[in-house]
């Protein structure tokens, strides 16, 4: 029997994540990895987690609650905290606008199920987050690629996608994964106006918003939309749905994310989640709430300090060592630097040599392009390496790029 003939169309559509496959290789401790976009585990607030667990054990009622089935919408104090943190005068968010999910990845999965059918035209940046493409791909949409520059989505390309009839636009406006770009406020306002002109949903992924190292990013799409439409009308007229996560600021293993949306959308997402997994881990939600309510701001300041220095080390090393045939962005936050090679170089081929010769890993950029292209691009993550290793790694990678370029030169 051929099992491939038995799979559903959705199952056949899903593709393996290049990053996940690459991470298997990185179990070799001799490899210096700039591949995974993951936080540094040395910075996890483990002592506070232990204290929270101790307090739970001393409170038998809450301890039992943490191990019990719970409501699909999520742990009420955590939903209240999210609503309070992200509300604006014109928004008036309440817990009824918040759904707690198993990371932002489940938010994407539920939203894809809610809005995307086979052939549905959707707009994605060129490049965009590989994990989103993996989720959307199971729904077999028609991708409309939107061009970007050093400031993110180009408004004219967004308008063309809207005119082409896309149903939704997915964007990471702050320190984008993989490109590191941040959309300026004036572009955000123009995109919101276009969304309302063409009636297009905006899925705003804010995974990296808190990780800024120079100045805070512009107001979110959600905030700006609340200023664009009449006071408190977002609940009826809002087109922006915002995704958030604790994975990049606290710990990925908590698997806690959230979706902020008008109630009519939340009600549908709750039913979809109920059918999917009933609810997210109550214990993990309680831990996330306690961490967020008591130490999050101080913890994020620590992350900004550490990651900011590592970002600077990587950018400075590239300025010093990278040959003129290649170029890179200089992100103001997030976890990534996006590097463009000469058109004659293929990043996948370069990766093979980087792993075998220099014991260095990165993510080839082609996987971040929904409709192909980007073979001469790559993504570097700076969050898990110390500054000395970063400088050494960029020196060696730059030397390899120069060697490969010279070998292929006519």
**Residue among 347, 352, 337 nearest 367 (CA):** 347
User: Which residue, chain included where needed, has tokens 């987690």?
Assistant: 49
Pairwise CA distance, residues 329 & 288, whole Å: 33
Fold of the CATH domain 3-45+298-408: 3.90.1150
Take residue 337 and report the two structure tokens written for it.
């630097």
Pairwise CA distance, residues 105 & 114, whole Å: 14
- Does the structure show a pLDDT above 80 at 268? yes
Give tens-digit pLDDT for 312-346.
999 999 999 999 999 999 999 999 999 999 999 99
Contacts of 86 (CB under 8 A, 6+ apart): 93, 222, 242, 244, 260
**Mean of pLDDT values over 52-65:** 85
Q: How far is CA 245 from CA 21, 106, 208, 253, in A?
A: 23, 10, 9, 11
Amino acid 17: pLDDT: 65
Contacts of 260 (CB under 8 A, 6+ apart): 82, 86, 93, 97, 98, 222, 241, 242, 243, 244
Amino acid 89: pLDDT: 84
Pairwise CA distance, residues 107 & 403, whole Å: 43
Pairwise CA distance, residues 185 & 177, whole Å: 19
Query: Using CA of residue 5, residue 10, residue 11, residue 13, what is the dihedral sign?
Result: positive
Pairwise CA distance, residues 116 & 286, whole Å: 32
Q: By percentage, how much of the chain surpasses pLDDT 90?
A: 83
Pairwise CA distance, residues 352 & 359, whole Å: 10
User: Which residue, chain included where needed, has tokens 């052939």?
Assistant: 119
Please report how many Cα atoms fall inside a 13 Å half-sphere around the Cα of residue 140, on the Cβ side: 9
Q: C-alpha dihedral over 124, 125, 127, 129, to 10 degrees?
A: -60
Residue 378 contacts residue 337 (beta carbons within 8 Å): no
Give tens-digit pLDDT for 104-163.
999 999 999 999 999 999 999 999 999 999 999 999 999 999 999 999 999 999 999 999
Contacts of 301 (CB under 8 A, 6+ apart): none
Please name every residue paired with 381 in a beta bridge, in sequence order, or none if there are none.
336
Give tens-digit pLDDT for 273-327.
999 999 999 999 999 999 999 999 999 999 999 999 999 999 999 999 999 999 9
**Residue among 162, 226, 220 nearest 194 (CA):** 162
Give tens-digit pLDDT for 186-217.
999 999 999 999 999 999 999 999 999 999 99
Amino acid 2: pLDDT: 79
Domain boundaries, the chain: 3-45+298-408, 48-296
Take residue 293 and report the two structure tokens written for it.
């309510």
What's 48-296's CATH class? Answer: alpha beta
Give tens-digit pLDDT for 335-375.
999 999 999 999 999 999 999 999 999 999 999 999 999 99
Take residue 346 and report the two structure tokens written for it.
């293929």
Give tens-digit pLDDT for 208-257.
999 999 999 999 999 999 999 876 788 889 999 999 999 999 999 999 99
Give tens-digit pLDDT for 65-92.
888 899 999 999 999 999 999 998 888 8
Give the pTM: 0.94
């Amino acid at each position: 029997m051929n099992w491939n003939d038995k799979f559903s169309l959705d199952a056949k559509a899903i593709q393996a994540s290049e990053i996940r496959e690459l991470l298997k290789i990185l179990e070799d401790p001799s490899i210096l990895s700039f591949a995974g976009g993951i936080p540094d585990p040395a910075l996890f607030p483990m002592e506070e987690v232990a204290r929270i667990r101790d307090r739970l054990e001393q409170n038998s009622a809450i301890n039992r609650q943490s191990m019990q089935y719970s409501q699909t919408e999520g742990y009420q104090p955590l939903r209240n905290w999210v609503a309070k943190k992200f509300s604006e005068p014109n928004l008036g968010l309440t817990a009824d606008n918040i759904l707690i999910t198993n990371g932002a990845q489940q938010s994407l999965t539920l939203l894809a199920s809610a809005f995307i059918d086979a052939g549905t035209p959707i707009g994605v940046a060129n490049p965009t987050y590989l994990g989103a493409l993996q989720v959307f791909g199971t729904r077999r949409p028609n991708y409309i690629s939107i061009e970007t520059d050093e400031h993110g989505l180009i408004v004219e390309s967004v308008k063309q996608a809207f005119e082409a009839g896309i149903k939704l636009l997915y964007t990471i406006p702050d320190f984008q994964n993989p490109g590191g770009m941040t959309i300026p406020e004036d572009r955000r306002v123009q995109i919101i106006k276009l969304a309302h002109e063409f009636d297009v949903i905006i899925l705003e992924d804010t995974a990296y918003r808190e990780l800024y190292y120079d100045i805070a990013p512009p107001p979110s799409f959600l905030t700006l939309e609340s200023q664009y439409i009449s006071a408190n009308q977002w609940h009826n007229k809002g087109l922006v749905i915002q995704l958030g996560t604790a994975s990049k600021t606290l710990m990925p293993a908590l698997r806690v994310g959230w979706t902020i949306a008008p109630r009519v959308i939340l009600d549908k997402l709750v039913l979809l989640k109920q059918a999917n997994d009933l609810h997210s881990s109550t214990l993990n939600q309680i831990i996330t709430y306690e961490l967020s309510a008591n130490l999050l701001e101080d913890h994020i300041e620590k992350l900004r300090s550490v990651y900011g220095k590592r970002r600077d080390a990587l950018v400075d090393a590239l300025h010093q060592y990278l040959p003129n045939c290649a170029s890179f962005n200089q992100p103001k936050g997030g976890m990534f630097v996006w590097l463009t090679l000469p058109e004659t170089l293929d990043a996948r081929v370069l990766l093979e040599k980087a792993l075998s010769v220099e014991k260095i890993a990165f993510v080839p950029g082609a996987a971040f392009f929904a409709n192909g292209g980007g073979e001469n691009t790559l993504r570097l993550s700076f969050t898990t390496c110390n500054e000395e290793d970063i400088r050494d790694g960029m020196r060696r990678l730059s030397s390899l790029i120069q060697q490969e370029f010279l070998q292929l030169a006519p």
